[in-house]
Structure 1
Amino acid sequence: MGRGCAVALAAAAAALLVSLPMLLVLPPDADTYEQESRRMFMEWKARFKKTYKYAGEEECRYAVFKESRCRVAWARAAGVTTSGLNGLAARSNEEIYRGHGVEKGEGSYEQETRRMFVGWKAKYGKTYRDVGEEECRYRLFKGNRRAVVWLNAAAAAGQNAYDINQFGDLTNEEVRQSCYPEMVDQELSARCQAAAPYPDPEHGRRIWYQ
């Protein structure tokens, strides 16, 4: 398991116990880990005959793939699985678990989420290189929104309410990478500290929102 994954997994495990700035230390061999992940992604594409029409979409799929790589390493370290990355490694949880049929009310949920995505993009000035990247990012956004809906339902008894923040279309790994420049960017540091990781109750991943 690469040092990058080790740090990411340790951060996720400790996320509810320590403050965010403590989680933002990249490993000394971060560049090596990135190069290794890129190489693995190329080999994975060749193995499963994956091609992408748009460059932006491919980059988004790589981000999902890298997140999957960390989750697999975490599961192996915990003894949950001995399996590796399969053909779904570049697909978001939303696509994997919701892509085999429409649940009751899912049609209206999709319409509402699409509308929210448009407003969210305008609020945070989000733009994408191509339609492929935008659709990939939307799937991540939709999955994060699903976790927010669950949390707000659980907080109905007067606890804190949650909403999707500017990290709503990113993977956990991307959030960590985005927050790392907090050493020199005080504005980004404040935004990162406002974001907190919470577990997705259904699929065991951690989602970033506030």
Structure 2
Amino acid sequence: MTSLVLLLLVAVAINSVTCDPLPEDGDANIHQEFEKWKLQHEKTYPSTEEETKRKELWLATRKRVMEHNLKAAEGLENYTTTMGNYADLSIEDVSPTEEELDKEFAMWKTKHGKTYNSTEEEAKRRNIWFATRTTVMEHNRKAANGLATWIMGLNHFSDLTSEERPRGGLFPRPRPTKEDLDEEFETWKLTHGKTYNSTEEEAKRKDIWLATRRRVMEHNKKAANGSVSWTMGLNQFSDMTHEEIPKGGLLPLPQPTEEDVDKEFETWKEKHGKTYDSSEEEAKRKNIWLATRRRVMEHNQKAANGSVSWTMGLNSFSDLLH
């Protein structure tokens, strides 16, 4: 039911579509388009009256979609929409019953591993969840009408009040125990062949490593939230202070061929589910991605030479400007 409502509200998935002029209902082309849409989505209706009603809803959805895509073609919107399986339905048609909401809430609890200490606590959390769900639905209705450029969904925090949620809207990283950190440090030492002359020296190096790790984790939280377009990682210099890191000159960056870079970009697009509305948009995004990639590579050369104590990587925001 959640998927049904979301897909209706956003007039289905973001996709590329040609912006043709809006034909009148009497146009033979629009009738043919409706019939083709019915076949595609296996739609049948019990009566001509019902079909007429559904066609009117479909036409209204189509009008919103085409008007939005005309704006997108003129550069006034940065995404396009197209018609989907629910284009002949109204919001009222898919308003869930109380039983359906209970089932949806139960599925959400299972997905996020939610349990509560009492029936009273569960009732309280369900009410907050339902209020969050309503907010999500209302936002997605705006997105369907082109008034917002993103859609929303329920997540792990949907049963929490705004005061209870972590700042920044990020999923809370489970705070590692001392045993977890000890194990992680030992793994890192093995990976980089680290040994120390004394327990005092190891304790000192571990403190520096922990401080480096904390900076890396804080940066990667920003990356997860889209505030920066790359991630960081620990390397062999993460137990050294800035003054101790060797100051060797940078090794020359290997120069990939244009074919190599094209292949790398295609692999990155596939990994992050990236598509673009036009070849011009793709060229623009690729140039931004290349600039981000260059910064990441230059930083990682510094890391390889010990000038910095962490590495960077590309992520899903690497084709976006700051």
TM-score (normalizing by structure 2): 0.25
Higher-helix-fraction structure? 1
Query: Which protein is bigger by CA-based radius of gyration?
Result: 2
Larger RCO, structure (CA 8 Å, separation 6 or more) = 1
TM-score (normalizing by structure 1): 0.36
